[in-house]
Amino acid sequence: MIRLFIMLVSIAITVSPVRLTAAQKIPILIYHSIAEYSGTGSKELYVTPENFEKQMIYLRDHGFTLLTFEQWHNAMKVKKPIFITLDDGYKNNLTVLTVFQKLQTREFMPKGTIFVISDFIGRANRLSRAEIKRMSDSALISIQSHTATHPDLTKSTNLTYELHESQEKIQQITGKKVIALAYPYGNTNKQVMTETKKYYLYGLTTTPGSYTPSGIKNEQYLLPRTYVKYSTTIEEFAKIVEGE
């Protein structure tokens, strides 16, 4: 299962085609709702707009380069690469675009990736087609797939629909290639990865920790991500992104 794959990643000694030194790590952060907690759902899956902005300011002021998966090949070429990801495609993710536009300068180009559930697009608390298109057109937000209906893919009987149809629907909205998949609940296995590789270049789990390339097979379909939570302080955030 996923834990076994990640353990293999950590012990592998082969050389990765991505030429990073052993000390270099790439944080991939995972958020959900960027909003004040409303009393609905898990509080820890919220990050307030104020805290999110403070965290992005920290990244700006400490020399991080925010990337999307279309820029994966640049990760070894830039200073302090980091990926900001958000799952589920909540309407409150529009705040991310607002914060990015506020902080954007010639020297700092904030970027992030929103993984949307394609069959949920347009629901009351989810991004609409027009909002997804606007975010994609901003060049600050990459829209990628979180499947069609958010099932545990290791138990799904319709992987083609979940993986391919969601990809097609999102591409029709944005006009851009969808190349990354966030596995619902972070769950994957050999069969899921085999199917994912037919359509995507990257697969993201929810296994905590920074990405360090090891060169084992399928490692780009086992990318770890670390949660940023409602309770995460700026000091804790700094430790996460600095790899302390």
Could you give the percent of the chain with pLDDT greater than 70? 91
pLDDT at 244: 76
Confidence of residue 24 (pLDDT cuts 50, 70, 90): confident
Q: Which of 184, 175, 188 is nearest to 220 (CA)?
A: 188
pLDDT at 197: 98
Which domains does the chain show, CATH number per domain?
A: 2-11+26-242 (3.20.20.370)
3-state secondary structure 156-214: CCCHHHHHHHHHHHHHHHHCCCCCEEECHHHCCCHHHHHHHCCCCCEEECCCCCCECCC
Task: Please calculate the CA angle 62-80-106 and round it to the nearest 5 degrees.
Answer: 65
Q: Which residues of 30-68 are buried (b: 16+ CB within 10 A; e: fewer)?
A: bbbbbbeeeeeeeeebbbeeebbbebbbebbeeebbbbb
pTM, two decimal places? 0.90
The gap between the terminal CA atoms of the chain, to the nearest Å, is 28
Note the pLDDT tens digit of each residue in 73-85.
999 899 999 999 9
Place of tokens 């490692």: 219
Confidence of residue 1 (pLDDT cuts 50, 70, 90): low
Contact 211/10 with Cβ under 8 angstroms? no
Strands 33-34 and 81-88, how do they pair?
A: unpaired
Q: What length does the chain have?
A: 244
DSSP-based three-state secondary structure for 49: helix
d(CA 217, CA 234): 35
Strands 180-182 and 46-47, how do they pair?
A: unpaired
